[in-house]
Amino acid sequence: MKSIKDLPKHERPREKLIEKGAHALSDQELLAILLGKGTQKHDVLSIARKLITIIDDKGINLSVDDIVEVDGIGTAKASLQHS
């Protein structure tokens, strides 16, 4: 598993946001910033990628239950994404 710390500084989502602005980030990178961190099993970018897939598939029918199915997402993070 590759963590954010393994990426060169200029490729890390937060640093990229500060240097280039939100328009320079992918949806995955923006979501990773909101999530904050991953788990021991999954880095935050992997979790964000899984969530983006679910969001794209479910669209407006997305529910908190759909989000918490992703390993590494609990009720608190799912509620953040749902609001």
Taking only the tens place, the pLDDT of each residue in 25-39 is 999 999 999 998 888
Buried b (16+ CB within 10 A) or exposed e, 9-48: eeebbeebbeeeeeeebeebbebbbebeebeeebbbbbbb
Q: Which one-letter amino acid corresponds to residue 21?
A: G
Q: Rounded to two decimals, what is the model's pTM?
A: 0.82
The stretches in the chain having pLDDT less than 50 are 82-83
Domain span including residue 47: 4-82
Nearest CA to 5 out of 41, 31, 44, 35 is that of 44
